[in-house]
Structure 1
Amino acid sequence: MRRAGLTFDLAAVGAGAALVVAAALVGWQLLRDAFDIFLGFPPLLASWAPHVGPGTPVAIVVGVLLAARGPALAQRLAWRPLLLLAWATSVVWTLGLALVDGWAVGVAGRLATDQEYLYDVPRVTDIPAMLRTFTDFILTDQPVHWTTHVGAHPPGVFLLFVWLDRIGLGGGGPAGIAVILVGASACAAVAVTLRALGSEDVARSALPFGVLFPGAVWVGVSADGMFAGVLAWGVALLAVGATRRGLRADVAAVAGGLLLGFVLYLSYGLVLGGLLALAVLVVTRRWRAAALATAGVLAVVAAFTAAGFWWFTGLHLLRIIYAASAAAGRPYEYFVWANLAALVLATGPAVLAGLRRLAAAPRSLPLAPALLVAAAVVAVLAADVSGLSKAEVERIWLPFGVWLVVGCALLPPRHVRWWLVAQAVLALLVNHLLLTVW
């Protein structure tokens, strides 16, 4: 039975690899047939460029050490030191991968191009006025408009970068580091959620995989990596508030609601992150926490609305610019499955094996972790079939991908090190063979 389980795991990995190869072959054929899908190395937004950099030895050392020592440390360390170590290690892993491309290209320059958030920061001399008139500059068929990423998102994320600039942390370097610090904390937030919901053993087993996440290639540096961290901590605080009692629990629930509300103003697609929060409430059935969290969400919505930004107007205008953009020309019938190939590259073979085991035996995980994984899967599928996620999902779906890692807790302990090696090798290959845009 043990050997059969490994055989099925490897079969799932083989199927994922076949999907990636098929997406690459069909993508290249589309390019040869003059379909401009705007991908240099389908299914990823990247180009073939084998290289090494100052982050190469760092990333290799972290991968080796974590594969060798991570599982044992995850089981043995006290909880708080474990979380701090996981976060710190995830930061080093992510930063090491980013520095494979060098500081200027891999970190400082990522968010400073003429399509990114920092390009528009100097335009903001009055933050209230910016929020009040934000939707006036979303449409791109006018002389003055927001850059691609500013206009395609609600103003919350842009506001964060404006605030960083206001406190003296302007420029691509500080912004890139801030994104890495927040994005790399997602593994700790997922662990906090699981422990709060009574599954500390699952949290400890999955944590090394959360740290050695192949998607760290895009967490460093894309704003979507930061989105993953903010969403994960919103869910974590909600879980803490829903499983404890007293003032601290109420504060946690409200704080979780505030973060979840702010997530809505980071990216329109993150409304699907509500499925993760719903999973927490289904498990706990703590309606006081639900009410407090809802109050937190509504407070954020009210604040942005009062400031002059109406979320649904922004979404409507986004659909207009999307319909006129290059992305609209990307064939749905290709990306509806090629997107999943990109997700495979961002989450890694261990996640495929873990999901395979969970699908084969849904009760092999406690209810809470299983529901969280299911919520992430549903969110991904909903985003996929919507047609609003055509390519670049290796970064766009990071907020959901970090939760798929939970299924790795089902991998047999005797195989865990090898699965961690596989995760690290995938990330290292992607980052050293390809030059990713994010």
Structure 2
Amino acid sequence: MSDIPQERRVVTAIPGPKSQELQQRRVAAVAAGVGSTLPVFTARVDRGIIEDVDGNRLIDFGSGIAVTSVGASAEAVVRRASAQLQDFTHTCFMVTPYEGYVAVAEALAELTPGDHAKKSALFNSGAEAVENAVKIARAYTKRTAVVVFDHGYHGRTNLTMGMTAKNMPYKHGFGPFAPEVYRVPVAYGYRWPTGAENAGPEAAAQAIDTITKQVGAENVAAIVIEPVLGEGGFIEPAKGFLPEIVKFANDNGIVFVADEIQSGFCRTGQWFACEDEGIVPDLITTAKGIAGGLPLAAVTGRAEIMDAAHAGGLGGTYGGNPVACAGALGAIETMKELDLNAKAKEIEATMKARLTAMQEKFAVIGDIRGRGAMIAIELVKDPATKEPHPEAAAALAKACHAEGVLVLTCGTYGNVLRFLPPLVIGQDLLNEGLDVIENAFAAL
């Protein structure tokens, strides 16, 4: 486990000379389509600090996009994964199985919402999990159509690009996409025409009307939604929206899939974000925070639905890799031991208080939203018109990076700053990062 002093330290320009040298090698060897938010090359990571090859220490408000919730070198993850590495790295679960895969499936059955019988299948990435959830739903319902939502993000494979709302950079030039994917409105409270208080019931009615008229409920295999929409801008669907969609799915024999890839595993102050309104999904997809940074993903759901696919119909050579499974058991151990749900709620209280104070000073902050350690601010040119201000988001991110705070942007309009600190970040570091953000606003 790394043990880095939990202090921000800027000793060179960012990126520094060693990072710039590595960047030249990267440009020569790595495909240009693979981007990077900030080209500082990482040497070590511990809790809330990323140390680069030049010796700079950056406050981490990104967690590798919500992956390293327990930290990027958590003791239990390192211990369990190291022990597994000594024993074997791979057999392929579809050839000769091993206990770790089964233990992860048991943990997912225990942690995910609902007390019904559950089963899981393990994969490598979030997109793979979503794609397999659709396969399972189609096998179970014998239907083909898939319903997704405005501002949704589900991955970069052909099917999941088709399910993703945002064209640039995810879909542009990569079509044609898989058929039988239909998009309907979501309750985006801040931008709902008749006001946030009406967004839940009105958006649900519109979505259901569109599905009924344009697709036919009897043709829909699955409705797939992120309970907090991640890439689309950390949109929390207005209260009442999700329960209405779930009721419609249940009434029409449609499999309801909660895509918890970014919002799962204590990120929102609950094990899963759908618990906020008591949603019990038929299937739930997980990845990102599941294994402390090792590549692992899962589809977990009602046993009778999960068993609908024929033997051999699900799988993949690396799916449920034994080292990644060991890491997942270590990550879950850490989440329970440190009560990271409580920690996420503490982070929310600190961030929302500080950001609300900033909103009073800086008119560019149109909306503050999110839950737990999944918080965002939407930036606008004018609070009255709510015209998106992507240039401000880019400028603020750049200013924070120069001062040694890693922040990420997102949103369909590119105007959202999102904050995903590791759940193990220290309170002093969290406040220092917020100080840098506030100073960046003042300079802007």
Normalising by structure 1, we get a TM-score of 0.29
Would you tell me which structure has more helix in proportion to its own residues? 1
Q: Which has the higher contact order (CA 8 A, sep 6+)?
A: 1
Normalising by structure 2, we get a TM-score of 0.29
Would you tell me which structure has more strand in proportion to its own residues? 2
